[in-house]
Amino acid sequence: MNIKTISTICKYLAIPLVLGFPIAVIAYRLNLWEMGTSFKIIQYTGYGSIVVLAITLIVGIFAFIKKYKPIAERSACIAVLLAVPVIGLALQASKAKSLPFLHQVTTDTVNLPQFNSIVALRGEGSNPLAYNSEKLAPLQLQAYPELKPIISELTFEQAFSKAIQTAKALDWEIVAQQPEQGSIEAVDTTLLWGFKDDIAIRIIATNTGSKIDLRSISRIGGTDLGANADRVKNFIKMFNEN
Count of beta carbons in the 10 Å neighbourhood of residue 179: 13
Cα separation values, 228 from 53, 133, 180, Å: 34, 17, 27
Question: What is the CB neighbour count within 10 angstroms for residue 98?
Answer: 10
Q: Which amino acid is present at 73?
A: E
DSSP state of 172: P
Least confidently predicted of 12-16, 90-94, 125-129: 90-94
Cα separation values, 129 from 112, 115, 140, 156, Å: 10, 8, 16, 27
pLDDT tens-digit readout, 192-228: 999 999 999 999 999 999 999 999 999 998 899 999 9
Q: Are β-strands 104-106 and 150-152 bridged in parallel, bridged antiparallel, or unpaired?
A: unpaired
pLDDT for res 12: 93
pLDDT of residue 2: 83
Distance between CA atoms of residues 135 and 143, nearest Å = 13
Q: Name residues whose C-beta falls within 8 Å of residue 229's C-beta, 6 or more positions apart in sequence.
A: 105, 140, 143, 144, 147, 216
Q: Which tens digit of pLDDT belongs to each residue from 93-116?
A: 888 888 999 999 999 999 999 999
Report pTM: 0.86
Task: Give, in order, the Cα–Cα distances in Å from 68 to each of 1, 6, 11, 81, 82.
Answer: 16, 13, 16, 20, 21
Given a cut of 80, whether residue 141 has pLDDT beyond it is yes
Per CATH, the homologous superfamily of domain 104-241 is Kinase associated domain 1, KA1 (3.30.310.80)
